[in-house]
Structure 1
């Protein structure tokens, strides 16, 4: 059975999603290079604990639509989040957001604070922390060439990047797990979509332009970070904790950027504790 069993039309585009459980709504936003598969070891436990969990693939990611002529930037994804909540009849929700999804969560909380009950950001992009030097070079000089990569070369490129997201890359990001992360891109369309819908929009202006507004966030905020994150250094987490009033920073020892792969039990514990209202 698919982790995301349903589809919903939001503003004319198809989003694949999962909506289960009852109680306080909580929306899970994934990162990149990823899709909602990254939440598979966390979300079911949140549902079982008595929360309504909504998980979906961002537009252009995973099982969601890959439109030819549609903006899939962080700004556009933020608007779609609002549309998704409207379509599901949700006025206010908690948001748990990772990586580029964290940029969506930050922007949505700044723009629509009345709709965000509480915000957890996990190893998120922020300020000028992204893209990495590798992705910046690809975006600026090699994007069109990379869109034409044969499947084997593309898989090797993305596998190298994915292994950097976890503390023990060769062991954790391998076998069925690695295959699942690569699966949405194992076609010509999937490879082009990865660069067109994801990489092309790696742009720090989406987080830099809200830096001055982070101090306005009044909802409870928790920042969760992998101690060994190679992509988003801990210094950015510390800066977020300083700039967001009352934000609490929790560091997960030994975990990397995909902390939900390295320490799913700890992530689940932290999410449940936060949803229980514990700061």
Structure 2
């Protein structure tokens, strides 16, 4: 992990989050937001490829990875509040937010409710909502019955279903290890929060320049979701990766970083 430093931040008096940091502190601040039952490790390939002018942060959200696990607070609004508090804790006044998969829903809440903290927004493989997805409803029936300790085979199946087939087995194993760190109650609480939240409510309030990155073979997030987001966020732009599936940041990290760097450079 050349150049990637792993640190911790006391976000509140009762919540400490680990985070990865990379780049020159004098660079442009970019904060990455991982998805459901992931951690900053899911963003490692992006962090390692960032150009020198980007100062990147990737916190692990509450309940996930090695972060603290409070009893409650697993709605997108809770994670958004944590993200703003994290920025305060590490001294970031304003940043480009990069949300991957459901992490994009958290980034949208921050961009819509704390616009002065967001200079740009990048949504990678992000759904417009999870409430209308039949596959999510079926998945919830399984997740609602989860108990600790989690079954590794189940977690591996989940990781493979939401990640590109091209991932090396060693990387898959590492990601499964990270997702296993979230206890059953976090799998349940975070999923229920995503399903119950109106993820589109903030879109009309987002004023930051916005870039969407999406693979046209994504089995989780349909093109219609991208059209919804683009039509609701004024000036938003969509970049389509032909042949790519869900989690394009894992499948094509070089291209994602190039598109991100062009977007960030264009803001200044």
| Alpha carbons of structure 1 residues 130 and 263: separation in structure 2 relative to 1, 3 Å | farther
Partners of 1:255 and 1:200 in 2: how far apart? 28
Would the aligned equivalents of 2:230 and 2:238 in 1 still touch at CA under 8 Å?
yes
Partner of 1:51: 54
| Alpha carbons of structure 1 residues 145 and 246: separation in structure 2 relative to 1, 3 Å | closer
Partners of 2:44 and 2:175 in 1: how far apart? 12
Partners of 2:188 and 2:42 in 1: how far apart? 21
Structure 1 spans left out of the alignment, 5+ residues: none
After alignment, is 242-251 or 194-203 more displaced?
194-203
| Alpha carbons of structure 1 residues 138 and 268: separation in structure 2 relative to 1, 3 Å | closer
| Alpha carbons of structure 1 residues 248 and 134: separation in structure 2 relative to 1, 3 Å | closer
Q: Secondary structure at the match of 2:82?
A: helix
Partner of 1:155: 152
| Alpha carbons of structure 1 residues 259 and 107: separation in structure 2 relative to 1, 3 Å | same
TM-score (normalised: structure 2): 0.88
| Alpha carbons of structure 1 residues 231 and 204: separation in structure 2 relative to 1, 3 Å | farther
> Which deviations, in whole Å up to 9, do the C-alpha atoms of 1:63-102 show, x marking residues without a partner?
21222x2312111000011101111121111111111110
Report the Cα offset of residue 221 of structure 1. Answer: 0.7
Partners of 2:133 and 2:40 in 1: how far apart? 22
| Alpha carbons of structure 1 residues 227 and 93: separation in structure 2 relative to 1, 3 Å | same
After the TM superposition, which residues 200-279 of structure 1 pair with which residues of structure 2 at under 5 Å, given as runs? 200-210=192-202, 214-277=203-266
Does residue 1:34 correspond to 2:23, yes or no? Answer: no
Does residue 1:16 correspond to 2:18, yes or no? Answer: yes
Would the aligned equivalents of 1:4 and 1:55 in 2 still touch at CA under 8 Å?
no
| Alpha carbons of structure 1 residues 158 and 133: separation in structure 2 relative to 1, 3 Å | farther
After the TM superposition, which residues 20-169 of structure 1 pair with which residues of structure 2 at under 5 Å, given as runs? 20-22=22-24, 23-46=27-50, 48-67=51-70, 69-126=71-128, 128-130=129-131, 132-139=133-140, 141-148=141-148, 151=150, 154-167=151-164, 169=165
Q: State the Cα RMSD in Å.
A: 2.4
Partners of 1:256 and 1:78 in 2: how far apart? 26
Higher share in helix: 1
Aligned residues: 264
Does residue 1:181 correspond to 2:197, yes or no? Answer: no
Would the aligned equivalents of 2:19 and 2:59 in 1 still touch at CA under 8 Å?
yes
Would the aligned equivalents of 2:63 and 2:183 in 1 still touch at CA under 8 Å?
no
Q: Secondary structure at the match of 1:40?
A: helix
Would the aligned equivalents of 1:222 and 1:250 in 2 still touch at CA under 8 Å?
yes
Structure 2 spans left out of the alignment, 5+ residues: none
